[in-house]
A and B are shown apart, each in its own frame.
Chain A
Amino acid sequence: MPGFLKEFFNRNGTLMGSLMLGLVLFWTVGLIILPQLSMLDFSFRPNLPPPEIGGPKDVYTLENYKYLIYGPEGGSQDYNAVDLKVFFRTLVAAVCVTIFNLILCYPIAYYLGQTKGNHIRVFALMLIIPYWINEILRAFALRIIFGESGVLNTLLVGSGIFDTPFDFIRNDIALYAGLGYAYILLMIFPIYNVIESLDHNQIEAARDLGAPWWRIHKRVVIPYAKPGISSGCTMVFMLSAGALAAPQILGGPSSLWFTQLIYQQFNDNSDWPQGAAYAIVLLVTCILLVLAVMRLFKVNMGDIGK
């Protein structure tokens, strides 16, 4: 038995130790790893009617992945332009949502983290309570605000700023707002947690030594908050790229999110292998992108967990 396991059992007793270990293993292996492995397995198999499963046609194939790149065999185009476009657009949009969220949330997190007083708790509550409302309702509420005859257009046209209503939905503004809003807390709280532990004297020391406010942030606050920023950005990026409800409700008719394609494959086309392949591509690409960005900004995996 490796040393750390021995210590773990010594500390918790055999019964409690086995129980805890069993639960953690059940969670990671049973609920995460095995289902994902079966998805991976699906993605390499052809979509067959049930009687043929396990039959001679049930062989491993790259067909589902090829489909994303080249489209249906004998199709009119060389590449699957529609799906690829949706795929890259989703990634770019998720990056944009992440950056937009960071710009919006960093000042809020900084204010919450560095200000003393009871009103901070009220602010935090005001941020949390809207999340008791479920995602679908929140998304539809945004539709009411951004719709053609919605609150915002009524105001803009009524006050004479616009002559005709602006189509926030078709221009994806509603979608970005919805996605941004959906994950705001996941950006604010990791950053807030780190900044709260930053000694205010360091900010004052930097100021005393002549630094203007933006250099204090650049040199003192942001380097300190880096673990929180990376943790927040990773979560927001992963969740926006994988979001379904907000694109479904707030997306324009012509703008599909990649998750919607996956959903269509699973649900509308009943093509699980194809859906699984798409999902795996999205997952792997997102992970690689996150790792690359972490490397670029010299963030360690351990920092994310902070």
Chain B
Amino acid sequence: MSAGVGVDLENLWIRFGDFVAVRDANVHIKGGDFFSFLGPSGCGKTTILRAVSGFLEPSEGNVLIGGNNMKGIGPNKRPTALIFQNLALFPLMKVWENITFSMEIAGASARDRRKRADELLDMIALPGQGDKLPSELSGGQRQRVAIARALCAEPDVLLLDEPLSALDLKLRQHMRTELREIQKRVGITFIYITHDQGEALTMSDDIAVMRAGVIDQIADGKTIYNDPATAFAASFVGENNVFRGKVLEVRGDQALIRTNRSGDLLSRISTANQGKMNVGDDAMMFIRPEALSLAPTGTQGDHFVTAKVNHEEFEGNSFNIFMEGDGGKELKVAIPNHGQSFDDHSGQDMTLEYDVNNAVAVPAGELAAE
């Protein structure tokens, strides 16, 4: 299997009539990477995948695979293989025929196909299941057959369209690990489409966060989680508390923000926005629930927030406190459970403290829907 073929999207626009599904996407995917497009449904991520696989011609711009422009090349001629959301196994063919369909098309003998099928069945831990029909397998097994079928075509790039969404939670988590392992073993580029940030974060080398046809940020998972470029990326990936306000003062890579209801708070400016936020701009500041801790009630300062507690809950690994927050959204605090006693504070005011490095400021923008 040829390793390390990269994929580039250059000024990619895809329109359906007046509707712009993808707006000027520029993405460089390194060969051999596990790359995810992460976004809510309808954000255009599947459209991008269809443009890479060749089922859709971009309205403008180019798709390059291994540096070759794919314009005018049909899906059956591209070095890609696509795993469909519903897997699209051929129901009337046996498992081994499904897996080696691409070899059958290429004219390989039944003997060679059978041999290759057995190898792949071993790889996906389904030895001896080749003579079954897809309907006789479980969801997770079918999933693996779909992967084997795509890999059998020896693609340079494997495209996966939310292939785990039909599985139950346990299996989904198991398949994440398995997919990542398969990717490392075969060494080819994986492009993964998902709306599940957990999948994207656990498996990917790099992630592109998409919103309404626009790519908001491309970075590794840690950067996206800790250093989001936009309000959308900050609110879509992981849980986050938002504080709205205006920039009062810029101090190097930090900004003092006059929040609507929590006073003046100091925050780090996200890397992508440094030098771009000016005094008076509308801004949003984000602090994760686990980055907030309790402080003596009434403490004043630029990294203290005081608010009324609405209710509390015990989640096992943490005590969650929900307080009156900004814009009708509750402010969530997660206190790790070390076995300490925890009183009910409902109805009382509480003061929270945070490390300025754990607060991140971005220009005001659209938030992800709950």
Interfacial residues, chain A to chain B (CB-CB below 8 A): 199, 201-202, 204-212, 215, 219-220, 223-224
Contact = CB atoms under 8 A, between A and B. Distances in A.
A212 B76 contact: yes
B301 interface: no
A211 B106 CA distance: 8
A201 B88 contact: yes
A219 B101 CA distance: 10
Interface string B86-109: 101111110000000110111000
Contacts of B91: 224
A224 B81 CA distance: 23
B140 interface: no
Contacts, number: 60
B194 interface: no
Contact of B105 (A201, A202, A215, A223): A215
B92 A209 contact: no
26 contacts: A199-B88, A201-B85, A201-B88, A204-B75, A204-B82, A204-B88, A205-B82, A205-B88, A205-B90, A206-B90, A207-B55, A208-B75, A208-B76, A209-B76, A209-B81, A209-B101, A209-B150, A209-B153, A210-B76, A210-B153, A211-B76, A211-B101, A212-B105, A219-B90, A220-B90, A224-B91
B105 A209 contact: yes
A146 to B, nearest CB: 42
Interface centre among B53, B88, B104 (most CB of A within 10 A): B88
A211 B93 CA distance: 15
B interface, over-half SS: loop
A220 B97 CA distance: 12
Contacts of B81: 208-209
Contacts of A224: 91-92
B80 interface: yes
A79 to B, nearest CB: 46
B165 to A, nearest CB: 14
Given A205-B84, A219-B93, 10 more contacts: A199-B88, A204-B82, A204-B88, A205-B82, A205-B88, A207-B74, A209-B105, A209-B153, A210-B76, A212-B105
B52 to A, nearest CB: 11
B124 to A, nearest CB: 17
Nearest to B97: A219
A205 B153 CA distance: 12
A94 to B, nearest CB: 29
B244 interface: no
A204 B102 contact: no
Contacts of B211: none
B88 A210 contact: no
Interface centre among A205, A206, A209 (most CB of B within 10 A): A209
A277 to B, nearest CB: 43
Nearest to B55: A204
B101 A208 contact: no
A242 B84 CA distance: 47
